[in-house]
Chains A and B, each alone.
Chain A
Amino acid sequence: MIELQGVSKRWPGTAQPAVDDLSLTVPEGTSCALIGPSGCGKTTTLRMVNRLVEPSAGAIRIGGEDALAMDKVALRRRIGYVIQEVGLFPHWTVAENVATVPRLLGWPESRIASRVEEVLGMAGLDPGRFAARRPHQLSGGERQRVGVARALAGDPPVLLMDEPFGAVDPLVRGDLQLEVLRLLRTLGKTVLIVTHDVDEAVRLGDAVAILRAGRLVQHAPAAEILAHPADDFVAGFLGSDRALKRLALIPVTEAPHRPGSAAGPPLPEDATLRDALSEMVARGVRVVPLAGGGCLALDDLLSFASGRPDA
Protein backbone atom coordinates (compact mmCIF):
# COMPACT_ATOMS: atom_id res chain seq x y z
CA MET A 1 0.00 0.00 0.00
CA ILE A 2 1.20 3.50 -0.83
CA GLU A 3 -0.22 6.39 1.18
CA LEU A 4 0.45 10.05 0.56
CA GLN A 5 -0.94 12.50 3.08
CA GLY A 6 -0.88 16.24 2.57
CA VAL A 7 2.29 15.97 0.51
CA SER A 8 3.72 19.18 -0.96
CA LYS A 9 6.82 20.05 -2.88
CA ARG A 10 8.01 23.60 -3.15
CA TRP A 11 11.19 24.21 -5.15
CA PRO A 12 13.31 27.06 -3.86
CA GLY A 13 12.72 30.30 -5.71
CA THR A 14 9.30 29.40 -7.12
CA ALA A 15 6.03 31.02 -6.13
CA GLN A 16 3.77 28.05 -6.88
CA PRO A 17 4.36 24.67 -5.24
CA ALA A 18 5.02 21.89 -7.77
CA VAL A 19 2.83 19.57 -5.71
CA ASP A 20 0.27 21.09 -3.39
CA ASP A 21 -1.21 19.27 -0.37
CA LEU A 22 -1.74 16.00 -2.21
CA SER A 23 -3.39 13.06 -0.49
CA LEU A 24 -3.70 9.77 -2.30
CA THR A 25 -3.88 6.10 -1.32
CA VAL A 26 -3.07 3.17 -3.57
CA PRO A 27 -4.52 0.09 -1.87
CA GLU A 28 -2.47 -3.10 -1.62
CA GLY A 29 -2.28 -5.00 -4.90
CA THR A 30 -3.88 -2.31 -7.05
CA SER A 31 -2.56 0.18 -9.55
CA CYS A 32 -3.10 3.91 -9.76
CA ALA A 33 -2.32 5.99 -12.82
CA LEU A 34 -1.22 9.57 -12.19
CA ILE A 35 -2.15 11.68 -15.17
CA GLY A 36 -2.26 15.32 -16.15
CA PRO A 37 -0.80 17.89 -18.51
CA SER A 38 2.97 18.35 -18.44
CA GLY A 39 4.14 20.33 -15.45
CA CYS A 40 1.20 19.19 -13.31
CA GLY A 41 3.53 17.57 -10.76
CA LYS A 42 2.87 13.91 -11.55
CA THR A 43 6.52 12.92 -11.97
CA THR A 44 7.54 14.96 -8.92
CA THR A 45 4.86 13.10 -6.94
CA LEU A 46 6.17 9.75 -8.11
CA ARG A 47 9.77 10.68 -7.31
CA MET A 48 8.80 11.72 -3.80
CA VAL A 49 7.64 8.17 -3.06
CA ASN A 50 11.18 6.79 -3.43
CA ARG A 51 12.61 10.10 -2.26
CA LEU A 52 14.53 11.01 -5.36
CA VAL A 53 12.75 14.24 -4.49
CA GLU A 54 12.33 15.14 -0.83
CA PRO A 55 8.84 16.41 0.03
CA SER A 56 8.61 19.85 1.60
CA ALA A 57 5.65 18.78 3.73
CA GLY A 58 3.36 15.85 4.36
CA ALA A 59 3.68 12.16 5.13
CA ILE A 60 4.36 9.16 2.90
CA ARG A 61 3.83 5.60 4.07
CA ILE A 62 4.70 2.40 2.24
CA GLY A 63 3.09 -0.74 3.61
CA GLY A 64 2.26 1.28 6.72
CA GLU A 65 5.88 2.30 7.33
CA ASP A 66 6.95 5.92 7.39
CA ALA A 67 8.99 6.30 4.19
CA LEU A 68 10.40 9.66 5.25
CA ALA A 69 11.90 8.17 8.43
CA MET A 70 13.58 5.29 6.60
CA ASP A 71 17.08 5.25 5.19
CA LYS A 72 16.70 6.47 1.59
CA VAL A 73 18.89 3.79 0.05
CA ALA A 74 17.17 0.94 1.95
CA LEU A 75 13.77 2.38 0.97
CA ARG A 76 14.66 2.43 -2.75
CA ARG A 77 15.84 -1.18 -2.70
CA ARG A 78 12.32 -2.14 -1.59
CA ILE A 79 10.65 -0.21 -4.40
CA GLY A 80 10.75 -1.25 -8.06
CA TYR A 81 11.56 1.66 -10.35
CA VAL A 82 10.89 1.79 -14.10
CA ILE A 83 11.51 4.90 -16.22
CA GLN A 84 10.71 5.85 -19.80
CA GLU A 85 14.32 5.92 -20.98
CA VAL A 86 14.80 2.60 -19.12
CA GLY A 87 18.28 3.62 -18.00
CA LEU A 88 19.93 0.25 -18.44
CA PHE A 89 23.62 0.27 -17.57
CA PRO A 90 25.29 -0.01 -21.00
CA HIS A 91 28.50 -1.55 -19.68
CA TRP A 92 26.67 -4.47 -18.05
CA THR A 93 24.96 -7.47 -19.61
CA VAL A 94 21.21 -7.97 -19.38
CA ALA A 95 21.73 -10.48 -16.54
CA GLU A 96 23.98 -8.06 -14.64
CA ASN A 97 21.47 -5.27 -15.08
CA VAL A 98 18.63 -7.42 -13.77
CA ALA A 99 20.81 -8.58 -10.85
CA THR A 100 21.38 -4.99 -9.65
CA VAL A 101 19.04 -4.94 -6.65
CA PRO A 102 19.54 -8.57 -5.52
CA ARG A 103 23.27 -7.89 -5.53
CA LEU A 104 22.76 -4.70 -3.50
CA LEU A 105 20.65 -6.73 -1.08
CA GLY A 106 23.53 -9.17 -0.71
CA TRP A 107 21.79 -12.31 -1.96
CA PRO A 108 24.00 -15.37 -2.50
CA GLU A 109 25.14 -15.84 -6.13
CA SER A 110 23.07 -18.97 -6.74
CA ARG A 111 19.87 -17.26 -5.62
CA ILE A 112 20.67 -14.23 -7.78
CA ALA A 113 21.24 -16.42 -10.84
CA SER A 114 17.95 -18.28 -10.48
CA ARG A 115 16.06 -15.07 -9.73
CA VAL A 116 17.48 -13.41 -12.86
CA GLU A 117 16.25 -16.32 -14.99
CA GLU A 118 12.88 -16.23 -13.31
CA VAL A 119 12.19 -12.51 -13.78
CA LEU A 120 13.52 -12.48 -17.35
CA GLY A 121 11.02 -15.23 -18.09
CA MET A 122 8.23 -13.25 -16.39
CA ALA A 123 9.08 -10.26 -18.55
CA GLY A 124 8.77 -12.43 -21.65
CA LEU A 125 12.48 -12.75 -22.43
CA ASP A 126 14.16 -16.13 -22.92
CA PRO A 127 17.10 -16.07 -20.46
CA GLY A 128 19.15 -18.34 -22.72
CA ARG A 129 18.91 -15.85 -25.55
CA PHE A 130 19.08 -12.57 -23.68
CA ALA A 131 21.03 -12.94 -20.42
CA ALA A 132 24.46 -12.42 -21.95
CA ARG A 133 23.48 -9.59 -24.33
CA ARG A 134 24.38 -5.97 -23.89
CA PRO A 135 21.66 -3.28 -23.83
CA HIS A 136 22.72 -1.84 -27.19
CA GLN A 137 21.95 -5.20 -28.80
CA LEU A 138 18.27 -5.01 -27.82
CA SER A 139 15.21 -3.46 -29.48
CA GLY A 140 13.29 -0.72 -27.65
CA GLY A 141 10.61 -3.16 -26.50
CA GLU A 142 13.16 -5.70 -25.28
CA ARG A 143 15.01 -2.99 -23.42
CA GLN A 144 11.85 -1.95 -21.61
CA ARG A 145 11.17 -5.60 -20.72
CA VAL A 146 14.64 -5.79 -19.17
CA GLY A 147 13.79 -2.58 -17.29
CA VAL A 148 10.66 -4.24 -15.89
CA ALA A 149 12.60 -7.42 -15.02
CA ARG A 150 15.23 -5.33 -13.25
CA ALA A 151 12.53 -3.55 -11.23
CA LEU A 152 10.95 -6.86 -10.19
CA ALA A 153 14.20 -8.70 -9.40
CA GLY A 154 14.33 -7.78 -5.71
CA ASP A 155 10.66 -8.78 -5.36
CA PRO A 156 9.56 -5.35 -4.13
CA PRO A 157 5.94 -5.05 -2.95
CA VAL A 158 5.66 -1.63 -4.58
CA LEU A 159 6.49 -0.45 -8.10
CA LEU A 160 6.89 3.07 -9.45
CA MET A 161 6.66 3.49 -13.22
CA ASP A 162 7.36 6.78 -14.97
CA GLU A 163 5.96 6.74 -18.52
CA PRO A 164 7.07 3.10 -18.73
CA PHE A 165 5.99 2.56 -22.32
CA GLY A 166 6.57 6.06 -23.66
CA ALA A 167 9.70 5.18 -25.62
CA VAL A 168 8.31 1.98 -27.14
CA ASP A 169 6.86 2.14 -30.64
CA PRO A 170 3.03 2.14 -30.72
CA LEU A 171 2.73 -1.31 -32.32
CA VAL A 172 4.66 -3.01 -29.52
CA ARG A 173 3.26 -0.73 -26.82
CA GLY A 174 -0.25 -2.18 -26.68
CA ASP A 175 0.92 -5.76 -26.19
CA LEU A 176 3.60 -4.79 -23.73
CA GLN A 177 1.10 -2.75 -21.68
CA LEU A 178 -1.31 -5.65 -21.40
CA GLU A 179 1.39 -8.17 -20.67
CA VAL A 180 2.99 -6.08 -17.92
CA LEU A 181 -0.41 -5.25 -16.46
CA ARG A 182 -1.32 -8.93 -16.29
CA LEU A 183 2.05 -9.75 -14.72
CA LEU A 184 1.77 -7.07 -12.03
CA ARG A 185 -1.79 -8.21 -11.21
CA THR A 186 -0.69 -11.84 -10.91
CA LEU A 187 2.18 -10.85 -8.63
CA GLY A 188 -0.14 -8.66 -6.54
CA LYS A 189 2.11 -5.60 -6.77
CA THR A 190 1.01 -2.16 -5.68
CA VAL A 191 1.80 0.14 -8.58
CA LEU A 192 1.93 3.88 -9.13
CA ILE A 193 2.21 4.79 -12.83
CA VAL A 194 2.82 8.21 -14.32
CA THR A 195 1.57 8.75 -17.85
CA HIS A 196 0.33 11.57 -20.05
CA ASP A 197 -1.70 9.20 -22.20
CA VAL A 198 -5.35 8.84 -21.20
CA ASP A 199 -5.73 5.47 -22.93
CA GLU A 200 -2.73 4.12 -21.09
CA ALA A 201 -3.99 5.51 -17.78
CA VAL A 202 -7.42 3.87 -17.97
CA ARG A 203 -5.95 0.67 -19.30
CA LEU A 204 -3.25 0.28 -16.66
CA GLY A 205 -4.77 2.02 -13.67
CA ASP A 206 -7.42 0.39 -11.49
CA ALA A 207 -7.81 3.96 -10.32
CA VAL A 208 -6.91 7.15 -12.12
CA ALA A 209 -5.72 10.31 -10.36
CA ILE A 210 -5.82 13.52 -12.38
CA LEU A 211 -3.48 16.33 -11.37
CA ARG A 212 -3.58 19.94 -12.40
CA ALA A 213 -0.99 22.51 -11.28
CA GLY A 214 0.13 20.28 -8.42
CA ARG A 215 -3.34 19.60 -7.04
CA LEU A 216 -5.39 16.44 -7.20
CA VAL A 217 -8.51 17.21 -9.24
CA GLN A 218 -10.12 13.78 -9.29
CA HIS A 219 -9.26 10.31 -8.04
CA ALA A 220 -11.61 7.45 -8.89
CA PRO A 221 -11.82 4.09 -10.62
CA ALA A 222 -11.01 4.40 -14.32
CA ALA A 223 -14.54 3.71 -15.57
CA GLU A 224 -16.08 6.14 -13.11
CA ILE A 225 -13.74 8.97 -14.00
CA LEU A 226 -14.65 8.50 -17.67
CA ALA A 227 -18.36 8.45 -16.89
CA HIS A 228 -18.32 11.35 -14.44
CA PRO A 229 -15.49 13.82 -14.94
CA ALA A 230 -15.35 16.12 -11.91
CA ASP A 231 -15.21 19.32 -13.94
CA ASP A 232 -14.69 20.80 -17.41
CA PHE A 233 -10.93 20.52 -17.11
CA VAL A 234 -11.09 16.78 -16.49
CA ALA A 235 -13.69 16.29 -19.21
CA GLY A 236 -11.54 18.22 -21.69
CA PHE A 237 -8.43 16.33 -20.68
CA LEU A 238 -10.11 12.95 -21.09
CA GLY A 239 -11.26 13.94 -24.57
CA SER A 240 -14.54 13.96 -26.41
CA ASP A 241 -14.41 10.21 -26.93
CA ARG A 242 -14.30 9.43 -23.22
CA ALA A 243 -17.58 7.48 -23.47
CA LEU A 244 -15.91 5.21 -26.01
CA LYS A 245 -12.83 4.92 -23.79
CA ARG A 246 -15.12 3.76 -21.02
CA LEU A 247 -16.74 1.16 -23.29
CA ALA A 248 -13.22 -0.13 -24.00
CA LEU A 249 -12.90 -1.07 -20.32
CA ILE A 250 -15.95 -3.36 -20.35
CA PRO A 251 -15.59 -6.87 -21.79
CA VAL A 252 -18.43 -8.06 -24.06
CA THR A 253 -18.77 -11.09 -21.85
CA GLU A 254 -20.22 -8.88 -19.10
CA ALA A 255 -23.07 -7.49 -21.22
CA PRO A 256 -26.33 -9.40 -21.53
CA HIS A 257 -26.43 -11.73 -24.54
CA ARG A 258 -29.32 -12.77 -26.71
CA PRO A 259 -29.69 -16.32 -27.81
CA GLY A 260 -29.44 -17.21 -31.48
CA SER A 261 -27.05 -16.02 -34.07
CA ALA A 262 -26.39 -13.07 -36.37
CA ALA A 263 -24.69 -12.51 -39.70
CA GLY A 264 -20.94 -11.95 -40.02
CA PRO A 265 -17.86 -13.25 -38.24
CA PRO A 266 -18.20 -13.48 -34.43
CA LEU A 267 -16.42 -11.14 -32.02
CA PRO A 268 -13.53 -12.75 -30.12
CA GLU A 269 -14.01 -13.58 -26.44
CA ASP A 270 -11.66 -10.87 -25.21
CA ALA A 271 -13.38 -8.10 -27.19
CA THR A 272 -14.70 -5.04 -25.37
CA LEU A 273 -17.97 -3.17 -25.79
CA ARG A 274 -16.05 -0.59 -27.80
CA ASP A 275 -14.95 -3.30 -30.22
CA ALA A 276 -18.56 -4.48 -30.45
CA LEU A 277 -19.84 -0.97 -31.17
CA SER A 278 -17.11 -0.42 -33.72
CA GLU A 279 -18.03 -3.65 -35.49
CA MET A 280 -21.72 -2.67 -35.57
CA VAL A 281 -20.83 0.68 -37.13
CA ALA A 282 -18.46 -0.94 -39.60
CA ARG A 283 -20.96 -3.58 -40.65
CA GLY A 284 -23.99 -1.28 -40.49
CA VAL A 285 -25.87 -3.74 -38.26
CA ARG A 286 -27.54 -3.59 -34.84
CA VAL A 287 -26.54 -7.10 -33.74
CA VAL A 288 -23.18 -8.89 -33.78
CA PRO A 289 -22.50 -12.58 -33.04
CA LEU A 290 -20.15 -13.56 -30.23
CA ALA A 291 -17.47 -16.24 -30.32
CA GLY A 292 -18.76 -17.72 -27.08
CA GLY A 293 -22.24 -18.21 -28.60
CA GLY A 294 -25.26 -15.93 -28.74
CA CYS A 295 -25.15 -12.36 -29.92
CA LEU A 296 -25.04 -8.80 -28.65
CA ALA A 297 -27.58 -6.17 -29.66
CA LEU A 298 -27.03 -2.41 -29.83
CA ASP A 299 -29.97 -1.63 -27.52
CA ASP A 300 -28.65 -4.04 -24.91
CA LEU A 301 -25.17 -2.56 -25.19
CA LEU A 302 -26.45 0.97 -24.65
CA SER A 303 -28.75 0.19 -21.77
CA PHE A 304 -26.13 -1.98 -20.07
CA ALA A 305 -23.39 0.63 -20.41
CA SER A 306 -25.60 3.41 -19.05
CA GLY A 307 -27.13 1.20 -16.35
CA ARG A 308 -23.85 0.05 -14.78
CA PRO A 309 -23.16 1.31 -11.26
CA ASP A 310 -20.19 3.30 -12.50
CA ALA A 311 -22.25 5.08 -15.12
Chain B
Amino acid sequence: MEAITQGLAWLQANPGRFGETVLDHLLLSLTGLGIGIALALPLGVAVARSAWLAEIAIGGAGLLRTIPSLAVLAALLPWLGVGFTPSVVALALLAIPPVLVNTVTGLNGVDRAARDAAEGLGLTRRQQALQVELPLAAPMIFAGLRISAVQVVSAAALATFIGGGGLGDLVTQGLALLDFGRMLVGAVAIAALALLTEAGLGVLERRVAARVGA
Protein backbone atom coordinates (compact mmCIF):
# COMPACT_ATOMS: atom_id res chain seq x y z
CA MET B 1 0.00 0.00 0.00
CA GLU B 2 2.78 2.32 0.91
CA ALA B 3 4.45 1.76 -2.43
CA ILE B 4 1.26 2.76 -4.26
CA THR B 5 0.98 5.97 -2.24
CA GLN B 6 4.61 6.71 -3.02
CA GLY B 7 3.99 6.03 -6.68
CA LEU B 8 1.00 8.34 -6.86
CA ALA B 9 2.97 10.99 -5.00
CA TRP B 10 5.84 10.78 -7.48
CA LEU B 11 3.40 10.95 -10.39
CA GLN B 12 1.75 14.03 -8.92
CA ALA B 13 5.09 15.73 -8.40
CA ASN B 14 6.49 14.86 -11.85
CA PRO B 15 3.68 14.74 -14.44
CA GLY B 16 5.92 16.30 -17.12
CA ARG B 17 8.75 13.89 -16.55
CA PHE B 18 6.32 10.96 -16.72
CA GLY B 19 4.76 12.14 -19.99
CA GLU B 20 8.21 12.59 -21.50
CA THR B 21 9.32 9.08 -20.61
CA VAL B 22 6.13 7.58 -22.03
CA LEU B 23 6.65 9.49 -25.29
CA ASP B 24 10.29 8.41 -25.38
CA HIS B 25 9.23 4.84 -24.83
CA LEU B 26 6.64 5.01 -27.60
CA LEU B 27 9.05 6.68 -30.02
CA LEU B 28 11.67 4.04 -29.31
CA SER B 29 9.15 1.19 -29.74
CA LEU B 30 7.48 2.56 -32.87
CA THR B 31 10.76 3.32 -34.63
CA GLY B 32 12.15 -0.12 -33.82
CA LEU B 33 8.89 -1.82 -34.79
CA GLY B 34 8.58 0.24 -37.97
CA ILE B 35 12.07 -0.62 -39.15
CA GLY B 36 11.58 -4.27 -38.20
CA ILE B 37 8.33 -4.51 -40.19
CA ALA B 38 9.82 -2.61 -43.12
CA LEU B 39 12.52 -5.27 -43.28
CA ALA B 40 10.56 -8.40 -42.36
CA LEU B 41 7.48 -7.94 -44.55
CA PRO B 42 9.21 -7.51 -47.94
CA LEU B 43 11.71 -10.20 -46.98
CA GLY B 44 8.84 -12.56 -46.17
CA VAL B 45 7.13 -11.82 -49.49
CA ALA B 46 10.42 -12.33 -51.31
CA VAL B 47 11.26 -15.71 -49.80
CA ALA B 48 7.76 -17.23 -49.50
CA ARG B 49 7.74 -18.48 -53.12
CA SER B 50 10.84 -20.60 -52.75
CA ALA B 51 10.57 -23.55 -50.39
CA TRP B 52 14.24 -23.58 -49.39
CA LEU B 53 14.56 -19.79 -48.99
CA ALA B 54 11.43 -19.84 -46.82
CA GLU B 55 12.99 -22.60 -44.72
CA ILE B 56 16.20 -20.61 -44.26
CA ALA B 57 14.23 -17.48 -43.31
CA ILE B 58 12.11 -19.32 -40.75
CA GLY B 59 15.20 -21.05 -39.32
CA GLY B 60 17.06 -17.73 -39.11
CA ALA B 61 14.09 -16.08 -37.43
CA GLY B 62 13.94 -18.88 -34.87
CA LEU B 63 17.63 -18.39 -34.12
CA LEU B 64 17.20 -14.63 -33.75
CA ARG B 65 14.27 -15.25 -31.43
CA THR B 66 16.28 -17.37 -29.02
CA ILE B 67 18.89 -14.64 -28.36
CA PRO B 68 17.81 -12.69 -25.24
CA SER B 69 17.11 -8.99 -25.88
CA LEU B 70 19.59 -7.96 -23.24
CA ALA B 71 22.32 -9.95 -24.95
CA VAL B 72 21.51 -8.24 -28.25
CA LEU B 73 21.76 -4.85 -26.56
CA ALA B 74 25.07 -5.71 -24.96
CA ALA B 75 26.44 -7.14 -28.20
CA LEU B 76 25.57 -3.96 -30.11
CA LEU B 77 27.32 -1.75 -27.60
CA PRO B 78 30.88 -2.01 -29.02
CA TRP B 79 29.66 -1.11 -32.55
CA LEU B 80 26.93 1.39 -32.06
CA GLY B 81 27.80 2.84 -28.68
CA VAL B 82 25.01 3.96 -26.40
CA GLY B 83 21.80 5.92 -26.82
CA PHE B 84 18.75 5.87 -29.08
CA THR B 85 20.25 4.31 -32.23
CA PRO B 86 21.56 1.02 -30.80
CA SER B 87 18.32 0.63 -28.84
CA VAL B 88 16.26 1.02 -32.00
CA VAL B 89 18.47 -1.43 -33.87
CA ALA B 90 18.04 -4.01 -31.12
CA LEU B 91 14.27 -3.54 -31.04
CA ALA B 92 14.09 -3.79 -34.84
CA LEU B 93 15.98 -7.09 -34.68
CA LEU B 94 13.50 -8.26 -32.07
CA ALA B 95 10.53 -7.24 -34.22
CA ILE B 96 11.67 -9.16 -37.29
CA PRO B 97 11.09 -12.86 -36.39
CA PRO B 98 7.33 -12.89 -35.67
CA VAL B 99 6.48 -10.75 -38.72
CA LEU B 100 8.81 -12.71 -41.00
CA VAL B 101 7.59 -16.13 -39.87
CA ASN B 102 3.92 -15.17 -40.05
CA THR B 103 4.31 -13.52 -43.44
CA VAL B 104 5.90 -16.65 -44.89
CA THR B 105 3.41 -19.07 -43.31
CA GLY B 106 0.50 -16.75 -44.11
CA LEU B 107 1.43 -16.47 -47.78
CA ASN B 108 2.04 -20.19 -48.10
CA GLY B 109 -1.29 -20.88 -46.45
CA VAL B 110 -3.25 -18.97 -49.11
CA ASP B 111 -5.70 -21.27 -50.90
CA ARG B 112 -3.81 -22.92 -53.76
CA ALA B 113 -6.82 -22.74 -56.05
CA ALA B 114 -7.16 -18.97 -55.55
CA ARG B 115 -3.46 -18.58 -56.36
CA ASP B 116 -3.77 -20.79 -59.42
CA ALA B 117 -6.84 -18.88 -60.61
CA ALA B 118 -5.11 -15.52 -60.08
CA GLU B 119 -2.16 -16.61 -62.20
CA GLY B 120 -4.32 -18.33 -64.82
CA LEU B 121 -6.62 -15.33 -65.26
CA GLY B 122 -3.65 -13.16 -66.10
CA LEU B 123 -2.72 -11.20 -62.98
CA THR B 124 0.91 -10.14 -63.07
CA ARG B 125 3.22 -11.43 -60.35
CA ARG B 126 2.87 -8.10 -58.54
CA GLN B 127 -0.92 -8.06 -58.88
CA GLN B 128 -1.10 -11.62 -57.54
CA ALA B 129 0.86 -10.55 -54.47
CA LEU B 130 -0.93 -7.27 -53.80
CA GLN B 131 -4.51 -8.17 -54.75
CA VAL B 132 -4.78 -11.82 -53.73
CA GLU B 133 -1.95 -13.26 -51.66
CA LEU B 134 -1.27 -10.43 -49.19
CA PRO B 135 -4.95 -9.67 -48.48
CA LEU B 136 -5.64 -13.36 -47.85
CA ALA B 137 -2.54 -13.70 -45.67
CA ALA B 138 -3.36 -10.45 -43.85
CA PRO B 139 -4.89 -11.96 -40.69
CA MET B 140 -1.83 -14.16 -40.17
CA ILE B 141 0.59 -11.32 -40.92
CA PHE B 142 -1.33 -9.07 -38.58
CA ALA B 143 -1.05 -11.64 -35.81
CA GLY B 144 2.73 -11.61 -36.28
CA LEU B 145 2.67 -7.86 -36.13
CA ARG B 146 0.80 -7.93 -32.82
CA ILE B 147 3.30 -10.36 -31.30
CA SER B 148 6.19 -8.17 -32.50
CA ALA B 149 4.61 -5.01 -31.16
CA VAL B 150 4.02 -6.46 -27.70
CA GLN B 151 7.56 -7.84 -27.55
CA VAL B 152 9.06 -4.55 -28.67
CA VAL B 153 7.04 -2.45 -26.22
CA SER B 154 8.13 -4.75 -23.37
CA ALA B 155 11.74 -4.99 -24.47
CA ALA B 156 12.05 -1.21 -24.90
CA ALA B 157 12.17 -1.12 -21.09
CA LEU B 158 15.68 -2.58 -21.36
CA ALA B 159 16.93 0.30 -23.51
CA THR B 160 17.74 2.17 -20.32
CA PHE B 161 20.79 -0.11 -19.84
CA ILE B 162 22.45 1.42 -22.90
CA GLY B 163 21.11 4.90 -22.40
CA GLY B 164 18.21 4.59 -24.81
CA GLY B 165 15.69 6.22 -22.48
CA GLY B 166 12.06 5.24 -22.13
CA LEU B 167 10.09 3.96 -19.16
CA GLY B 168 12.96 1.70 -18.16
CA ASP B 169 14.72 4.85 -16.98
CA LEU B 170 12.17 5.28 -14.19
CA VAL B 171 12.84 1.74 -12.99
CA THR B 172 16.62 2.00 -13.01
CA GLN B 173 16.60 5.47 -11.48
CA GLY B 174 14.14 4.39 -8.80
CA LEU B 175 16.38 1.44 -8.04
CA ALA B 176 19.51 3.60 -7.82
CA LEU B 177 17.87 6.28 -5.66
CA LEU B 178 15.79 3.79 -3.66
CA ASP B 179 12.78 5.81 -4.87
CA PHE B 180 10.20 3.02 -4.93
CA GLY B 181 7.39 5.32 -6.08
CA ARG B 182 9.25 6.20 -9.26
CA MET B 183 10.19 2.57 -9.83
CA LEU B 184 6.60 1.40 -9.44
CA VAL B 185 5.24 4.01 -11.85
CA GLY B 186 7.79 2.87 -14.45
CA ALA B 187 7.02 -0.81 -13.96
CA VAL B 188 3.25 -0.41 -14.04
CA ALA B 189 3.41 1.84 -17.09
CA ILE B 190 5.52 -0.70 -19.00
CA ALA B 191 3.09 -3.49 -18.20
CA ALA B 192 0.08 -1.32 -19.06
CA LEU B 193 1.55 -0.31 -22.44
CA ALA B 194 2.21 -3.92 -23.32
CA LEU B 195 -1.31 -4.96 -22.33
CA LEU B 196 -2.87 -2.06 -24.24
CA THR B 197 -0.87 -2.93 -27.34
CA GLU B 198 -1.99 -6.54 -27.11
CA ALA B 199 -5.63 -5.64 -26.61
CA GLY B 200 -5.76 -2.85 -29.20
CA LEU B 201 -4.06 -4.81 -31.94
CA GLY B 202 -6.12 -7.87 -31.02
CA VAL B 203 -9.30 -5.96 -31.83
CA LEU B 204 -7.81 -4.72 -35.12
CA GLU B 205 -6.70 -8.24 -35.95
CA ARG B 206 -10.22 -9.61 -35.63
CA ARG B 207 -11.48 -6.83 -37.90
CA VAL B 208 -8.91 -7.73 -40.55
CA ALA B 209 -9.86 -11.40 -40.31
CA ALA B 210 -13.56 -10.55 -40.64
CA ARG B 211 -12.89 -8.43 -43.72
CA VAL B 212 -11.11 -11.25 -45.49
CA GLY B 213 -13.81 -13.61 -44.25
CA ALA B 214 -12.64 -16.72 -46.07
Nearest-CB residue, chain B, relative to A153: B121
Can you name 11 extra interface pairs (CB under 8 A) apart from A76-B122, A83-B120, A90-B213?
A: A52-B116, A83-B116, A85-B112, A87-B111, A87-B113, A87-B117, A91-B214, A101-B122, A104-B123, A134-B213, A136-B213
Among A84, A90, A136, the most chain B Cβ lie within 10 Å of the Cβ of: A90
B136 near A: Cβ within 8 Å? yes
Among B112, B116, B120, the most chain A Cβ lie within 10 Å of the Cβ of: B120
Q: Chain A, 125-162, contact with B by CB distance < 8 Å: what is the 0/1 string?
A: 00000000010100000000000001000000000100
Chain B residues with Cβ below 8 Å from A77 are 121-122
Inter-chain CA distance A84–B120, complex, in Å, is 13
Among B115, B121, B131, B212, the most chain A Cβ lie within 10 Å of the Cβ of: B121
Nearest chain B CB to A104 CB, angstrom units? 6
Nearest-CB residue, chain A, relative to B214: A90
Pairwise interchain contact B122-A104, C-beta atoms closer than 8 A: yes
Known interface pairs A85-B113, A87-B114, A89-B114. Does A136 touch B120 (Cβ–Cβ under 8 Å)?
no
Q: Chain B, 57-88, contact with A by CB distance < 8 Å: what is the 0/1 string?
A: 00000000000000000000000000000000
Known interface pairs A90-B212, A90-B214, A91-B214. Does A50 touch B113 (Cβ–Cβ under 8 Å)?
no
Chain B interface mostly? helix
Nearest-CB residue, chain A, relative to B211: A91
Q: Which of B118-145 contact A (CB under 8 A)?
A: 118-124, 127, 131-132, 135-136
Nearest chain B CB to A107 CB, angstrom units? 14
Chain A residues with Cβ below 8 Å from B135 are 91
Pairwise interchain contact B124-A73, C-beta atoms closer than 8 A: yes
18 contacts between A and B (CB under 8 A): A50-B120, A76-B121, A76-B122, A81-B117, A81-B121, A83-B120, A84-B113, A85-B111, A85-B112, A85-B116, A86-B117, A87-B111, A87-B117, A88-B117, A90-B136, A90-B212, A100-B121, A104-B121
Pairwise interchain contact A90-B122, C-beta atoms closer than 8 A: no
Pairwise interchain contact A91-B122, C-beta atoms closer than 8 A: no
Chain B residues with Cβ below 8 Å from A75 are 122
Chain B residues with Cβ below 8 Å from A89 are 114, 117-118, 131-132, 136
Inter-chain CA distance A101–B117, complex, in Å, is 11
Which residues from chain B sit less than 8 Å from chain A, CB to CB? 111-124, 127, 131-132, 135-136, 211-214
Chain A residues with Cβ below 8 Å from B123 are 73, 100, 104
Chain A residues with Cβ below 8 Å from B214 are 90-91, 136
Pairwise interchain contact A90-B120, C-beta atoms closer than 8 A: no
Contact of A73 among B122, B211, B212, B213 (CB under 8 A): B122
Chain B residues with Cβ below 8 Å from A88 are 114, 117
Inter-chain CA distance A175–B23, complex, in Å, is 66
Chain A residues with Cβ below 8 Å from B111 are 85, 87, 90
Inter-chain CA distance A87–B118, complex, in Å, is 8
Inter-chain CA distance A83–B214, complex, in Å, is 19
Q: Which 3 A-B pairs have the closest CB atoms?
A: A87-B117, A85-B113, A87-B113
